[in-house]
Structure 1
Amino acid sequence: MEISAHIRSGLDVHELIVSTDGASRPLVISARPSGRGSAVNGGELLMAALATCYCNDLYREASRLGVPIAGCKVRVQGHFNGVGLAAQSVTYSAVVESSAPAVEVEALLSETDRLAEIHNTLRRGCAVERVAWHGPAA
């Protein structure tokens, strides 16, 4: 599965397109008041990615394990101590609304923690490399 994101930003335009295996869709994020860059920063998007991953994976794993879910809440926070510095710590918590026994809900939370792909990417580290741009400049 290939997942990508493409931003086009300038004084008159701010577009973000996300894609999974070629299925693209816009993700609406406002431009900064200056018109240069996103109103949301990368750290916020990283925390949103972690929260979204865990939320979606809770539903996926609940279905696989047969645990009913009426809803969930996920909160993620990270600490960045300066420009160019990696996050020092990232924590998250989740609560699931379910009619299942507490032991099954806890097993679901643990199994989802074990399998959440974005969480595992950060936990294990992943090479990030700048490569040459291929395609039109604008």
Structure 2
Amino acid sequence: MFEEKKTDYTKSGSKEIHVSSPGSGPWAVKSTQAINWWSLNIPSDSIVIVKVIDKSTDKVVFEDKSKCGTGTINFEISEDWNVKHEFIAVVYLKDNEECKGFSEKFKIFKTEEYGYGGGYKKEY
């Protein structure tokens, strides 16, 4: 009755980047998180640009580059990121910005809000 359609990506030849983390969080300010990705039909020595973007302002709050294939880049959630905003990670080919993948949107929090005073600099 219901037949699941499966795509054979090795035959389709479509270039794809899939970003598997970070997840939705929330993640603590000053914590280290990872952006993980994998790709299909893209040479593993291709260069990708990795960014974290504040969805409310479109400001790039983190940027790095790496080789494609399967990859991981760690980033720290900075004290100046707005805890009221949502963020998203994007990984795209340096030579083809249309070939890209996105993480889930994620939120952040200052640890004191959850009963722990460490992890960020208090402003008085």
Short-chain TM bin: under 0.3
Larger Rg, first or second structure (1 or 2):
1
Greater relative contact order (CA < 8 Å, ≥ 6 in sequence): 2
TM-score by length of 2: 0.27
Q: Looking at secondary structure, tell me which structure has more strand per residue.
A: 2
